Chains A and B, each alone.
Chain A
Amino acid sequence: MSLKAFHIVFIVSSILLTLGFGGWCLSNFMEPGGSKRDLAAAVVSLVAAIGLFIYGRYFLKKLKNITYL
């Protein structure tokens, strides 16, 4: 597996983490005593997930000539 393939695995994992962290922050915000910081962190995480997805597509396009092995 080349660095290109491993990077895709890493980016997918990062997207899942940011979505999970965003959900975790959102559930904290909805609990009694939840702060605006939790909501802000949830929004930032969601934006980060979208950003990573866009980056992933850009990366695949940029390195389309490099092998996965």
Chain B
Amino acid sequence: MTTGIGGTVPIVSETDLGRAGTPGIVLVSHSREVAESVARLAGALAGGAGDVRVVPAGGDPAGGVGTDAELIAAAARRADSGAGVAILVDLGSAVLTVRALVAEGGDDGDEGLPPGARMLDAPFLEGAVAAVVAAAGGADLEGVAGAAEEARDYRKR
């Protein structure tokens, strides 16, 4: 609801930090504003995100347009409550950065992605909405990924 640490905006409270079982969702955009707005929109369209942690990770550290691996990894660790993390990305370096982070696996210990983090092959906005709706409805990581990736196939005309 308010701007959190590191420029991220949790759209739900992180009060029940001990609760495992809900996949987290990270939204990676070149723009901080885009990531934060899509997080809010997805939460609104899901009718509230319930227990789902949706963490935006957009822009470069200076607030400009870009991709920041450390911000992304930190967002994924915050989104993680033990049930995996679904990462949605917009384009270009956001895709490559998350792919590279995933490829590093657990090599980076406390600095990398948490175990069970995966990048979804989904359109950023539509996938984010589908992922938040699915997660709020009780889906596991597999279900969240399936819902988001199905959004690729939705034809608009």
B is a partner of A: no
A-side interface residues toward B, CB under 8 Å?
A: none
Chain B interface residues (CB < 8 Å from chain A)? none
